[in-house]
Amino acid sequence: MLWGVNHLAFFSISERILLLLLAVFLVVPFFRSLYTRVCENAFERCERSAAVRLLFSFSLGVAAALLCFYFRISTDMYGDTRTLLQFLADYRYTVLNLFDPRDTEPLTRIIHQLIAGWSGIDHKLTFQILSALSGGMMIFVLFFWVVSLDVSNTWKLFMFLAISTTGANQLFFGHVEDYTLAYLCLLFFLLTAWRLFDGKKVLGLMAVLLIVGVRLHVVFALILPSFLFAVCWVMRERFTWMRRCMQPTTVLKTLGATALVCAVAYVFYFHADHYQVGDKDEILKKIFLPVSNYHPAPHSYSLLSWKHISDVFEEMVMTVSPAVFIVFLPGLLLWRRIRWDDPRVLFYGIGSVTFTAFTFTVNPMLTMMRDWDLFSLAAAPLTFLVIAIAFQLFAGTEQIRHQRLMLGATISMGILSMAIILVNADTDRVSRRLEGIGTWAFHSYYAGSSYILNVAAKMTTSIDHQIERRGRKIRELEPYGSNRDLELGILYQKLGDAALSDKRFALAADNYSRAYANDSLNASALRSLGLIFLLTRQYDKANQLLEYYNANVNTPLVMDERGLLLAKQLKAIQLLEAGKPDSSIIQKALDDIYLQNR
C-alpha cells in the first residue's frame, strides 16, 4: 500500500522499466563492483586530506540541498501546513516561549519566524528552504562523519547509503512541518552517540543536542532513556553499580516497568482507553488511540485492531531505510550471533523501542498517510540499530562478499523506495496518489478523507476532467457511505462548487441538495442552492430558501453577510423583471451576480 514498487504505479511504463532495470543493475555483482570501487576510491582520497574531505563533503551537501529544493513536495496536504502557517501569522514567538513547558516546539517556530522576518520571505517558502538546507546539512555531516570512522570503505559506503536512503528523509524535500529540524537534530545525536562508543568524549555534546532537540519538538524527549544509558556507559568505571544497569536483562526489566507505568497513565491519567462520546472535540483532546472502538464495523480502528497494527507496520516500512529489512531478515535467522550486550545495540535498541511504542499508541488524527512525518522520528534509531547489528553479523574480511551484497541490495531497494520523492514532486503524480490515500482513508481514523480527495481533485487543471473525476470518486464511495454521511456531504458540496464554476447549474443544484441532505448544518450548500435558483430565474424558490437561510443564519446576529446580499440582489432582479426590460439586460445583471458570488 505505502512502500516500494507500488510507487512505480504513478510512472509511465517506460519509466517503470528503467527504474526496475536500474535497481537490478545496482545489485548485479559486475555493476556493483564498478560503483563500489569508485565510491571506495573517493573515501580513500578524502581520508588522506582533511581539506579534501571538507571540500568534498561540502560539495555533496550543496548538491543535496539543491536537489531537495528542486524536487520539493508539490502539495501542502502532508502534515498540518495550513493550520501551522495561520498560527505563525497570528502569534509572535519570543525567547520566553523556550521556557514554557506547555509549548511543544518553540525553537522550531522561533527559527522560522526569525528567518522569515529577517529575509522578507513568506513562512511557507521559509519552511521549504530550511527543509532543503537541512537535507544538505545532513548529507554534509553524514559524509564527513562516515569518512572519519575507523572501518573499511565498504562499511562506510553501507552506512552512508543506509542513512541517506531512509524514507524519513522526505522531510528534507520542502516539507512544511515542525518535525524537520527535530529529525535533523536526532540524526546528529545518533551520529554523535556512535563516536561515544568509540571512546570519544562527546557526552556533553549529546546533552546539548538533547536540550536543543526537546525545544525543537517535545517528541525528541523519547530519546532520553537512551541518553541515560549513555551516561551509565561513560560512568561505568567510576560507579561499578552502573555496569548492572547496562545488562540486557536489566534494560528489558526497566523498559517493562516503564511500559507498565505508561499503561497506567494511559488509562487513569489520559483516560485514553475509550471514547465517552467520540466526537471531534474529544478526539482532538486525546492524543492516544482507544482500546475500545467508537467506529462501527467495518471501520473498526482501535489500538489493538489488526488494521491499526498493519497500518503502523506499513508506515514504518515507508519511513525506515530498506537496509532495516535487508539486515533484519538474516538477523532473525542468525540472532544467536548478535551480542545483545553490545552498548550500541542497547543504546539504539532503547531508542527504537521508545519511539516505536509512542508512534504505535498515538492517534494519527490526520490519517496515517498525512502524518507520516510523526512516524519519521522513529525511523532514525531503527536505522542505526540495524547498522549496529549488521556490524556483528557481517564483520571481518571473510564476510566481504556478504557486505557487498548487503550494500548492493540497500541501494537497489533504496532506488525503488525513494521513488516517492519523484511522485511527491510532480503535481499530476501526487494528485493521483492523494486520491488513492483519500479513498483508503474513507471512514478510518478521522474525518479527513473528503479533504484529501478535494485537494487531489483541485490539482487537476481541466475543469471538465475535475468534474468527471469528482463524480467518479463519489460514485465509488457511495456504497460504503453511512446514512447522512458527513464525508460524502463534503464531496457533494465540492462537486457542486466545481459545477457552479463551470455554470453547470443543474449538476451543481443536484449536488448541493445532496450535500445538505447529508449535513443539515451545511449552510454553504443552502446558500449556493439559493444562488442557483436565482441565476436560473426560479425566483419563488430562491426567495423561499434565502428567507429560511437568513432566518436561521443571520438572526439575531449577522453571521454571513453574503446571505443578506444575495437576498437584496434577488429583490433587485425581481424589480428589474417587473419593468420588462430587454432580456440581455436581465442576463447581464445575472452574470454580474454570478461573478460577485463565485
* Location of each CATH 1.25.40 domain in the chain: 427-521
The whole-number average pLDDT for the span 316-321 is 87
Structure pTM? 0.90
Q: Are 382 and 187 in contact (CB under 8 A)?
A: no
At residue 334, does pLDDT exceed 60?
A: yes
pLDDT bin (cut points 50, 70, 90) of residue 559 is confident
Instruction: Please report, for residues 113, 472, 479, the alpha-carbon distance to residue 468 in angstroms, rounded to integers and kept in the order given.
Output: 41, 6, 18
Q: What distance in Å separates the CA atoms of residue 585 and residue 591, rounded to the nearest whole number?
A: 10
- Greater model confidence, 483 or 128: 128
Residue 311 to residue 567: CA distance in whole angstroms: 50
Amino acid at 531: L
Tell me which DSSP letter residue 371 carries.
-
- Centre a 10 Å sphere on the Cβ of residue 575 and count the other Cβ atoms it contains: 9
pLDDT for the residue 583: 82
CA 55 to chain centre: 33
pLDDT tops 90 at residue 179: yes
Q: Is a pLDDT exceeding 60 seen at residue 297?
A: no
Helices (H) and strands (E) in the chain, counts: 28, 0
pLDDT tens digits along 477-508: 999 888 888 889 999 999 999 999 999 999 99
| Model confidence band, residue 5 (pLDDT cutoffs 50, 70, 90) | very low
242-273, pLDDT tens digit by residue?
888 888 899 999 999 999 999 999 999 888 88
Average pLDDT, the chain: 89
Distance CA 4, CA 417 (A): 4
- Rounded to a whole number of angstroms, the distance between the first and last alpha carbons of the chain is 38
Residue 205 confidence (pLDDT): 97
- Within 8 A by CB and 6+ apart from 369, the residues are 2, 437, 440, 441, 452
CATH number of 427-521: 1.25.40
- 510-544 pLDDT tens trace: 999 999 999 888 889 999 999 999 999 999 999 99
- Percent of the chain at pLDDT above 70? 95
pLDDT of 576-596, one tens digit each? Answer: 888 887 788 888 989 898 998
Coil, helix or strand for 437? helix
Residue 31: what pLDDT? 86
- Residue 74 and residue 427 in contact, taking contact as beta carbons nearer than 8 Å: yes
What is the crossing angle of helices 343-361 and 372-393, to 10°? 160
pLDDT the model gives residue 4:
41
Q: Which residues contact 574 (CB under 8 A, 6 or more apart)?
A: 539
CA of 137: how far to CAs of 108, 130, 143, 168, in Å? Answer: 16, 10, 10, 15
Say what percent of the chain tops pLDDT 90.
52
